[in-house]
Amino acid sequence: MNTTDTTFYLGYIEQGIGGGQDPLTPPISISKNGTLAKWRGKMHVLDLRVNDPGLRHNREGFIQTLQKAEALGIKVVVTLPEYTSRAFDLPPELPPRKDEPVVAPRRPTVKLPENLTHFRPCYLTIPSAAQGSEFFSTLTTGDCLPIIELAAEYKVEDIVVPVSEPGAFIDPQAEQHFRKNLKVIADAAKSRGIRLHLRNGGISKTVFRKLAKETGCGLAYNVGIAHLESEDILETYREFRNEISIVILQQVLPGLDKWAARREAMEKSLKDFQQAAKDYQMGIAGRDEHYAEQVLKRWHGAMRSYFEASYNQFFNLGLFQNGDLNLVPLLKELRRDIEAGQQKCCLLETVPNTKNTDFVLRYVIPDSFPGSL
């Protein structure tokens, strides 16, 4: 590829389809920050994260997004499921206290979502140490094949495969299971003209090299995950620059301890939520109004605890904000590759904001850009 063929795609994440919330809150979602049409000319590629194994619940929502992107001339990269969701009904409103005067609220009431949506991580393999853990579920090849077929129908050329989560490295036993599953989906993708890109996170360089040799897959390099795993980002990028055509930029949590603490707090409050819902129904069935009212208060408390635990103020900071990472050296490295004629797709895993676009373009686009943007 010579410089006249150079192509650089800049885009955002769509992770908000299927559920009143998002695996990471505030939402990393174009649909929750204005329609796709609003971003015309400000983004050129969309990372459509299909958090719906087997497309069992929200197929139409993903089809609509694919159709809209196609109509707007936006390239789509599909990411296979990393989460599976389950929705829970919210508790009824608390009755007003009898001794409490009715007053107009001083500020608008925060509108709650229609339900409580809990996202559970799922991967094609789970590290042996995590087998049987309530925190994970296993993704099957049968969950992936309908997604690959839908992607091919809309001429998607690239699919990202999350391997594991930050710091949870797959061991030799899990690696064998992953290789077996990867071969199935790699064959299905290749037969449809789609290339797979393994996303870093829980995968060593040695394992990636082995899998890349076997399947021809690339590396979707998530810089935030690499930072969480204490990796030298520039060194790794330079080492695998020819395998990396997709770079995912994000700011990150302060550390893996905070990552784990957030999930544990969500799991605990969810258990309290479910138990309170069960106790409330028992009180209603037994016509014990006093007990039901007391349990309803506990149910509301568990709901508030869950929403507070799920809120994430660090993970998807804007790139232009202060965060753990200085992204400028990597952006300059990307610029060198673009000038050398390589095609790069840069995805911003942040709350969509045009300032993020400006930040990236300031350092990446050459002064006299010969290719297409």
Query: How much is the pLDDT for 107?
Result: 54
**pLDDT value at residue 77:** 98
Write down the residue that tokens 């929403």 correspond to: 307
Read off the amino acid at residue 114.
E
Residues 6 or more apart in contact with residue 372 via CB below 8 angstroms? 6, 7, 8
Q: According to the model, what pLDDT value does residue 101 have?
A: 63
The answer to whether 56 touches 86, Cβ cutoff 8 Å, is no
| Residue 79 near residue 14 (C-beta atoms within 8 A) | no
> For the packed helices 172-190 and 141-153, what is the interaxial angle rounded to 10 degrees?
30
Within the chain, strands assigned E span 8-14, 45-49, 75-79, 83-89, 115-123, 137-138, 158-162, 195-199, 218-222, 246-249, 344-348
Within 10 angstroms of residue 258's Cβ, the number of other Cβ atoms is 15
pLDDT at residue 46, rounded to an integer? 96
**pLDDT reported for residue 3:** 38
pLDDT at 145: 98
Along the 373 residues of the chain, how does pLDDT read in single tens digits?
A: 333 455 899 999 999 887 677 888 888 888 877 788 888 888 899 999 999 999 999 999 999 999 999 999 999 999 999 999 899 999 999 988 766 566 655 555 556 778 899 999 999 999 988 887 888 899 999 999 999 999 999 999 999 999 999 999 999 999 999 999 999 999 999 999 999 999 999 999 999 999 999 999 999 999 999 999 999 999 999 999 999 999 999 988 888 998 889 999 999 999 999 999 999 999 999 999 899 999 999 999 999 999 999 998 888 888 987 778 899 999 999 999 998 889 999 999 998 888 999 999 999 986 655 555 4
Q: Please state whether 216 falls in left (phi above 0), alpha (psi between -120 and 50) or beta.
A: left
Residues 224 and 323: beta-carbon distance below 8 Å: no
On whether the CB atoms of residues 246 and 274 are closer than 8 A, the answer is no
End-to-end, the C-alpha distance of the chain in Å comes to 15
Predicted local distance difference test score (pLDDT) of residue 260: 87
Q: Compute the distance between CA of residue 7 and CA of residue 232 in angstroms, rounded to an integer.
A: 26
Q: How far apart are CA 331 and CA 315, in angstroms?
A: 20
Note the CATH number of domain 3-94+110-253+316-364: 3.20.20.150
Query: What is the spatial order of strands in the sheet that 83-89 belongs to?
Result: 83-89, 115-123, 137-138
> Which of 363, 369, 370, 343 shows the shortest CA–CA distance to 7?
343
Domain spans of the chain?
3-94+110-253+316-364, 255-311
**3-state secondary structure (DSSP) of residue 354:** helix
Whole-number pLDDT of residue 132: 79
Could you give the dihedral angle defined by the CA atoms of residues 267, 164, 242 and 4, in that order, rounded to the nearest 10 degrees? -40
Polymer length of the chain = 373
